[in-house]
Structure 1
Amino acid sequence: MNFLKKLVRKEDPKVYLDKDAHLQKVLGVKDFLALGVGTIVSTAIFTLPGVVAASHAGPAVAISFLVAAIVAGLVAFAYAEMASAMPFAGSAYSWINVIFGEFFGWIAGWALLAEYFIAVAFVASGISANLRGLLAPLGFSLPTFLASPLGSKGGFVDIIAAVSILIISALLSRGASTAAKAQNILVLLKVLVILLFIAVGATAIHFSNYVPFIPKYRIVNGAPFGGWQGIYAGVSMIFLSYIGFDSIAANSAEAKDPKKTMPRGILGSLLIAVVLFVSVSLVLVGMFKYTAYTNNAEPVGWALRHSGHGVIAAIVQSVAIVGMFTALIGMMLAGSRLIYSFGRDGMLPKWLGKLNKRKLPSHAQTTLTVVGIVVGAFFPFSVLSQLVSAGTLIAFMFVSLGIYALRRREGKDIAQPAFKMPLYPVMPLLAFIGALAVFWGLDIEAKVYALGWFIFGLVIYFSYGIRHSYLNKKQPAEKAAVEKTNVQEDVE
Structure 2
Amino acid sequence: MSFFSNFTRKEDPAVYQDKDSHLARVLEVKDFLALGVGTIVSTSIFTLPGVVAAQHAGPAVALSFLVAAIVAGLVAFAYAEMSAAMPFAGSAYSWINVIFGEGFGWIAGWALLAEYFIAVAFVGSGLSANFRGLVAPLGIKFPNALANPFGTDGGIIDITSVVVILLVAFLLARGVSSAARVENILVVLKVLAVLMFIVVGATAIHAQNYVPFIPAHRVNPDGTQFGGWQGIYAGVSMIFLSYIGFDSIAANSAEAKNPQKTMPRGILGSLVIAVVLFVAVALVLVGMFHYSDYANNAEPVGWALRHSGHEIVATVVQAIAVIGMFTALIGMMLAGSRLVYSFGRDGMLPKWLGKLSKDNLPNHALATITIVGVVIGSLFPFAFLSQLISAGTLIAFMFVSLGIYRLRPREGKDIPDPAFKMPLYPVLPFIGFLGALAVFWGLDVDAKIYALVWFIVGIIVYFCYGMRHSYLNKKD
Answer whether TM exceeds 0.5 for this pair.
yes
The alignment's TM-score, normalised by the length of structure 2, stands at 0.99
Aligned pairs (5 A) from 1:67-216: 67-216=67-216
Give me the CA root mean square deviation: 0.4
1:488 is matched with none
| Other structure's SS at 1:382 match | helix
Give the distance between the partners of 2:293 and 2:254, measured in 1 at CA: 46
Aligned pairs (5 A) from 1:375-390: 375-390=376-391
Aligned pairs (5 A) from 1:252-331: 252-331=253-332
Q: CA deviation at 1:4?
A: 1.2
1:439 is matched with 440
Give the distance between the partners of 2:384 and 2:397, measured in 1 at CA: 22
For the pair shown, the structure with the greater C-alpha radius of gyration is 1
What residue identity is the alignment partner of 2:108?
A: A
Q: CA deviation at 1:435?
A: 0.1
Give the distance between the partners of 2:393 and 2:131, measured in 1 at CA: 28
Give the distance between the partners of 2:202 and 2:349, measured in 1 at CA: 51
| Other structure's SS at 2:23 match | coil
Give the distance between the partners of 1:441 and 1:294, measured in 2 at CA: 21
Give the distance between the partners of 2:88 and 2:44, measured in 1 at CA: 29
Give the distance between the partners of 1:418 and 1:146, measured in 2 at CA: 51
1:28 is matched with 28
266-275 or 382-391: bigger deviation: 382-391
2:337 is matched with 336
Aligned pairs (5 A) from 1:37-48: 37-48=37-48
Matched, 1:396 2:388: no
What residue identity is the alignment partner of 2:467?
A: I
1:9-41 Cα deviation digits (max 9, x unpaired)? 000000000000000101000000000000000
Give the distance between the partners of 2:153 and 2:191, measured in 1 at CA: 34
1:458 is matched with 459
1:409 is matched with 410
1:218 is matched with 218
2:367 is matched with 366
Unaligned 5+ runs, structure 1: 476-492
- Identical positions, percent: 76
Runs of 4 or more, structure 1, over 6 Å off, are none
| Other structure's SS at 2:26 match | coil
| Other structure's SS at 1:457 match | helix
| Other structure's SS at 2:225 match | strand
Unaligned 5+ runs, structure 2: none
What residue identity is the alignment partner of 1:452?
A: V
Q: CA deviation at 1:204?
A: 0.3
1:216-266 Cα deviation digits (max 9, x unpaired)? 000112210000000000000000000000000000000000010000000
2:64 is matched with 64
What residue identity is the alignment partner of 2:263?
A: M
2:234 is matched with 233
| Other structure's SS at 1:404 match | helix
1:421 is matched with 422
Q: CA deviation at 1:2?
A: 2.1
Give the distance between the partners of 1:184 and 1:263, measured in 2 at CA: 19
Q: CA deviation at 1:153?
A: 1.3
Aligned length: 475
| Other structure's SS at 1:357 match | coil
Q: CA deviation at 1:6?
A: 0.8
What residue identity is the alignment partner of 1:258?
A: P
1:43-81 Cα deviation digits (max 9, x unpaired)? 000000000000000000000000000000000000000
Give the distance between the partners of 2:237 and 2:53, measured in 1 at CA: 13
Give the distance between the partners of 1:79 and 1:18, measured in 2 at CA: 21
Give the distance between the partners of 1:165 and 1:95, measured in 2 at CA: 29
Q: CA deviation at 1:334?
A: 0.1
Give the distance between the partners of 1:290 and 1:388, measured in 2 at CA: 26
Give the distance between the partners of 2:175 and 2:62, measured in 1 at CA: 38
| Other structure's SS at 2:155 match | coil
149-158 or 267-276: bigger deviation: 149-158
